[in-house]
């Protein structure tokens, strides 16, 4: 039993006229009759009762018809679904994000959902290690994070922009006018820091791992918006990427006096894996966004 035979059968039941059905199917009447005959031979039942005056469905034809209609409907729906996927008109996109990328992502999310309203976006804020595990389990299509020194052979990365780890503070802070800051400059102050295990904190401690001193961490938090609000309303300092405070007018980023503060914002995805049309388009729009272009050539 072939799909095309069922399609021919269903079309013929609409008109009960082989000549008209053949015209609608854009095939010859002999081809249609041959395919229906082959279907009847396989089922070992006649589906149509033919006379010189009319064509009617047999008992077997009436029995087959609802199943054939459902199959043809499912095929049409499947074909349309795949056309919609190619046109990015339907589907679901699972995106992972580390906390530093929240502000950068907003512009692209808005533009993407306006252009492709049929795509559902599932966005997961997690740590780098958690996102890596989710990607390897194929729970994510890709994730956005700074490039890690640790190498995972299953994952490739595509660089979006260059950035620097910086000391973040309110714009009126006593240190806000400085061009760069050393460990000695920031040591006297209290800090509100990302929780242990988050990228910015790991990178900072990697830079100053040979220092005998440590920061005065008054607050640890894994929610970036609350962290930024605390900085805006206090003299606390924090260590974050410059990209974290994109569009935050009340905050200032001052570079750390070290050549090791360079960070690369990347899209991470599985090697040699299938990429959804929607994922490719989202990443393209992210590359073209104003937020990414602001940091693309930063030194």
Read off the pLDDT of residues 137-162 as tens digits, 9 standing for 90 and up. 889 999 999 887 676 788 999 999 88
Mean pLDDT on 61-68: 94
pLDDT over 90 at 128, yes or no? no
Mean pLDDT on 93-100: 89
Mean pLDDT on 179-190: 90
Indicate the pTM of the whole model: 0.67
- Of the pLDDT bands very low, low, confident and very high (cuts 50, 70, 90), residue 213 is low
**In 3D, which of 163, 205, 113 has the Cα closest to residue 293?**
163
Task: Report the chain's mean pLDDT, rounded to a whole number.
Answer: 87
**In 3D, which of 266, 84, 71, 246 has the Cα closest to residue 168?**
246
pLDDT over 90 at 262, yes or no? no
Token pair 């309110």 is found at 170
Q: Which CATH architecture has domain 3-86?
A: Orthogonal Bundle (1.10)
Specify the range with the lowest mean pLDDT, choosing from 28-32, 56-60, 90-94.
90-94
pLDDT over 60 at 297, yes or no? no
Q: What are the residue ranges of CATH 3.40.190.290 in the chain?
A: 162-262
HSE (CB half, 13 Å, CA atoms) of 280?
9
Q: What are the residue ranges of CATH 3.40.190.10 in the chain?
A: 91-161+264-296
Alpha-carbon 196 to chain mean position = 26
Structure tokens that stand for 210 in this block: 């040979």
pLDDT at residue 210, as a whole number: 60
pLDDT at residue 299, as a whole number: 44
- The proportion of the chain whose per-residue pLDDT surpasses 90, expressed as a percent, equals 53
Do 101 and 224 contact (CB within 8 A), yes or no?
no
Buried (b) or exposed (e) across 57-82, using 16+ Cβ within 10 A?
beeebeebeeebeeebeeeeeeeeee
pLDDT over 70 at 217, yes or no? yes
pLDDT at residue 127, as a whole number: 84
Token pair 């990178």 is found at 203
Under CATH, to which class is 91-161+264-296 assigned?
alpha beta
Mean pLDDT on 47-53: 89
CATH 3.90.1150.10 holds for 162-262: no
- Of the pLDDT bands very low, low, confident and very high (cuts 50, 70, 90), residue 253 is very high
Number of residues that this document lists for the chain: 299
């Amino acid at each position: 039993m072939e799909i095309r035979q069922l399609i021919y059968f269903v079309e013929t039941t609409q008109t009960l006229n082989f000549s008209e059905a053949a015209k609608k199917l854009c095939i010859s009447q002999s081809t249609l009759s041959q395919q229906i005959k082959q279907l009847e031979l396989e089922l070992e039942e006649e589906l149509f009762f033919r006379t010189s005056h009319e064509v009617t469905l047999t008992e077997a034809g009436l029995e087959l018809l609802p199943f054939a209609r459902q199959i043809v409907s499912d095929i049409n729906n499947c074909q349309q679904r795949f056309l919609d996927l190619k046109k990015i008109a339907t589907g679901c996109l699972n995106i992972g994000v580390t906390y530093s990328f929240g502000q950068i992502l907003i512009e692209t999310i808005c533009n993407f959902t306006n252009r492709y309203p049929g795509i559902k976006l599932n966005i997961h804020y997690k740590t780098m290690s958690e996102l890596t595990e989710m990607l390897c389990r194929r729970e994510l299509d890709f994730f956005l994070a700074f490039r890690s020194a640790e190498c995972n052979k299953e994952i490739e990365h595509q660089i979006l922009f260059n950035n620097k780890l910086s000391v973040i503070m309110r714009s009126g802070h006593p240190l806000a006018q400085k061009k760069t800051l050393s460990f000695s400059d920031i040591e006297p102050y209290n800090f509100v820091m990302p929780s242990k295990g988050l990228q910015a904190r790991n990178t900072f401690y990697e830079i100053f791992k040979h220092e005998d001193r440590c920061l005065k961490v008054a607050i640890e938090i894994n929610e970036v918006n609350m962290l930024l609000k605390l900085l805006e309303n206090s003299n606390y300092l924090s260590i974050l990427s410059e990209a974290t405070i994109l569009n935050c007018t009340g905050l200032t980023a001052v570079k750390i006096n070290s050549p090791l503060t360079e960070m690369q914002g990347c899209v991470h995805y599985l090697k040699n894996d299938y990429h959804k049309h929607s994922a490719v388009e989202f990443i393209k729009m992210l590359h073209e966004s104003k937020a990414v272009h602001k940091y693309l050539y930063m030194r």
